[in-house]
Structure 1
């Protein structure tokens, strides 16, 4: 019988999920008692009525809960039927020791499967050891506490030494699971439900084992220790239903977390995760009216930023551990942070902060936990230098007389402007800030600068015939807010956004962060050492707000021409991106 894995209904925060957890625990515990009695039946020379009653009542409870679980939990009916039949078979076969033992063995194996909840390898072996030792303990507890010594078969296992052995198996299995979980040596072991459950699965059997060694007597050990083993067994079987706690925050590594605010799951990204000014980012799907406070400080409203998606709040984080509180109305949730003590001067806030956060998100999505030491606007890459030079050559070949250049004071923006000016001067093109009637607009600043430049250009084009050679942006400006702000914009790229890797990244970042759109900075961070896979020769791509094409019934559409507004993996929502040039020449 398969039980939910990794949390019931999103964790233990609701009454329904708590009831499901109780159902699961009682079902498995009563099943283990039944299996234990059947397993140890051959050790009896007679069958006292009290043993039969305990087995029958436990079997009835376990079978009933198995049937209930089909209706209220994610349990396959076939597994539930198997559980019911085996639980009923053990008390029915108690008159015949050998058949009862085999039925108990089968039930015990089923309990292992139910407890593992889909785990394999070392975890499966640990589950098998813990469940088997618990079942054997319950069996010897029934043998010792319910049956007079005169009805024990001579030559059987000695209860005292067996208690030490079974307790030791439980302690070792629990300790290995605890250490393997990664929670054993940090504060999450006592600060999270998962850590407390694992700790109970180790500590309770340890107490029972120490008690058995101290008492030096079988009956007393089982009398006082059975409750401890039962509680440890309940803790062990609860592991699969308790959500895994998030990893501890590391100073300088941006934090990606989920918060529950006003009955909604709201993703949150915190960069650069250092003492001082930090950006807290929410996706557009999180809605409005979110507020952020740090370590009990004043609330800061999350608001849009030019050229960036979603909303942003800039807050001051103290050194070391603290909490960032996200709230909407009367609902709030917290994110644990640990900024350390080192203050690092980066461009992770200010106008270039959103792009830097996007780069951090790309790395986090692919599983890397890199310390944020630099941002994309810190310098112009060799690849982008070449792409801008070739873009100017493309404009000259098209007949443009000049370039209206828009930049910003960031190191990348300053160098990019110099590159465009050098290339234009070499080809005899004017470089000026005016729109002109024979110019092309080239934007090489950051997102905020580009947002203003493109918005202004769109307004100007609606009023007069300006920029007849088009609007062009640097590669790092390919994102939904910027491209969607004008009808058509062109960008020199070294990859095709419709290919497998860019589409895969776009889907992954959207899934991980509330539908967030892809960016070049995030894509490069997502690629990491694989960036060379997409660094081809630059071509000019046009992004236009056209995504519906009339086609005949059943007629296949061309690559890059989506037939609906929301296609997974699109780099710019509700837009089409296609190449409009061949490989750019020097």
Structure 2
């Protein structure tokens, strides 16, 4: 069974019946308010408009009551709407008093149309709704308005049409849809176009047939009003995929990350909270199961993307969700399979920060000066503790090779031996990537359970501060230039968890999330451990406001803690 967007609203999250009810309520109420507003212009009103307004008053009141069962509406707001809807036709005999009831009802329509919008959006809603309501009033009473009236239908048709055009144009600019295929491939795009085109057509009609424009254009204004009201409930389509920019999309109830979105091998990443049994593949091509990767959270599916646009199908059980991708035609960066998850995680940080940067390099491509300095200080710190040797774990990535060379040179300068084998009086230093760092930690944990091993500690390079790696052992230390407990680091951790299904933060993602406008701090050794500082059962009495769940938002070490164990290393 295919799981596609709702054919009416463009989103399965929008209740179609509730939307239709809301549109009918707003249109009938706007027509009612406009008729009551212009009633004082006519001294002897025809009976037909009076009957129409009486029917609209009843319809508006009934729809308001029905909508209370389909939406979260307060009793006070419902009562005000019903009273005003009934009052407008009742007060037609006293038009000056009824005008104020119509103004109040018109304000209520604006508030209901804006759906909590503020600033420019609320101002646009006010202009569009008021202009449409006045037009509806002229459609009812236009022929009966005397030529000597202050508000003559002919000239006002041009004025109101112009206001609708301006409001529609500004609304189009704020929609974010742009001049691209989303205008004709999504329901939201069709509605945005209608908001602009219909007022233009009505304005042209007003210019050609000024005397009858209010009657002939009423249908166009009504359709435009419905489109305008629908925009508040329709979700805006996601931005179009940009070749070379990793894609962060929403799947069937969980987020999806596609990296690097270039022709050839790509990784499709799902958070751990999405669960298992997920597979992905290009429509018409092979489907790959999403599996765990060493040192990385969640699951990952390897998918080959063809050049240009294609549909990525995400399957679980009998449900299939389609995500549009665009790999372009230019070749992407050469990414080693072992380093691809870390590279994708780093790109995710930039996407969460709102940047759409083309992925041209990965953290494993180079050893940054900041990380190099941290490793030098780490080796010098270990030299002061005087282990018999350093057990070094490296890999073949450019960063791993450079880091291993730097560690050996610094160890030789400080009189430390470096060897690949473990020993009871050694310190383990891991400078590889995630794929080699995770098994190195699991091996060390196994050795330490059997016999005294690496008694001078387990140490990771800064880029290995990642939940699965640090939690592979009881305790591990890292030289860091930032405090994972301070506000900025916690803010990033919360952001990535909120946007990507509870995903844990990573140093690479933190760096791209910050962008290039940050200065590296001093180096301190931090210890990460799977401990609970206050081991209390959640059912035990505790202080008000005390968080008893260890897995709270903003943690860098899932189900654990990280604290500094040295002062700044000089």
Regarding TM over 0.5, the answer is yes
What's the secondary structure of 2:242's corresponding residue? coil
Alpha-carbon deviation of 1:409?
0.5
Alignment TM-score, normalising by the size of structure 1: 0.91
- Tell me which residue corresponds to 1:513: 500
Question: 2: CA distance between counterparts of 1:115 and 1:312?
Answer: 43
Alpha-carbon deviation of 1:41?
1.0
Work out whether residues 14 and 233 of structure 2, in 8 Å CA contact, stay in contact via their aligned partners in 1: no
- Tell me which residue corresponds to 1:326: 314
1:166/1:276 CA distance change after superposition, 3 Å = same
Among 419, 423, 427, the alignment partner of 1:432 is 419
Residue 544 in structure 1 maps to residue 529 in structure 2: yes
Alpha-carbon deviation of 1:72?
2.4
1:295-342 C-alpha deviation (Å, 9 max, x unpaired): 431111111111111011111112222221111111111222222221
Aligned length: 561
- Tell me which residue corresponds to 1:267: 255
- Tell me which residue corresponds to 1:136: 134
1:64-79 aligned within 5 A: 64-79=62-77
Among 551, 556, 559, the alignment partner of 1:566 is 551
Work out whether residues 45 and 153 of structure 1, in 8 Å CA contact, stay in contact via their aligned partners in 2: no
- Tell me which residue corresponds to 1:207: 201
Residue 170 in structure 1 maps to residue 155 in structure 2: no
1:81-480 aligned within 5 A: 81-144=79-142, 149=143, 151-156=144-149, 157-214=151-208, 216=209, 218-219=211-212, 221-260=213-252, 265-347=253-335, 350-480=337-467
Work out whether residues 194 and 239 of structure 1, in 8 Å CA contact, stay in contact via their aligned partners in 2: yes
Work out whether residues 454 and 486 of structure 1, in 8 Å CA contact, stay in contact via their aligned partners in 2: yes
Work out whether residues 359 and 524 of structure 1, in 8 Å CA contact, stay in contact via their aligned partners in 2: yes
Work out whether residues 346 and 375 of structure 1, in 8 Å CA contact, stay in contact via their aligned partners in 2: no
Alpha-carbon deviation of 1:270?
0.9
Structure 2: state its 5+ residue gaps: none
Question: 2: CA distance between counterparts of 1:555 and 1:62?
Answer: 52
Aligned-pair Cα RMSD in Å: 2.4
1:576/1:143 CA distance change after superposition, 3 Å = same
Alpha-carbon deviation of 1:179?
2.6
Among 25, 31, 34, the alignment partner of 2:32 is 34
Question: 2: CA distance between counterparts of 1:275 and 1:116?
Answer: 43
Question: 2: CA distance between counterparts of 1:451 and 1:550?
Answer: 27
Work out whether residues 252 and 273 of structure 1, in 8 Å CA contact, stay in contact via their aligned partners in 2: yes
What's the secondary structure of 2:254's corresponding residue? strand
What's the secondary structure of 2:15's corresponding residue? helix
Question: 1: CA distance between counterparts of 2:241 and 2:27?
Answer: 37
1:29/1:15 CA distance change after superposition, 3 Å = same
Alignment TM-score, normalising by the size of structure 2: 0.93
Alpha-carbon deviation of 1:289?
1.1
Residue 495 in structure 1 maps to residue 482 in structure 2: yes
What's the secondary structure of 1:155's corresponding residue? coil
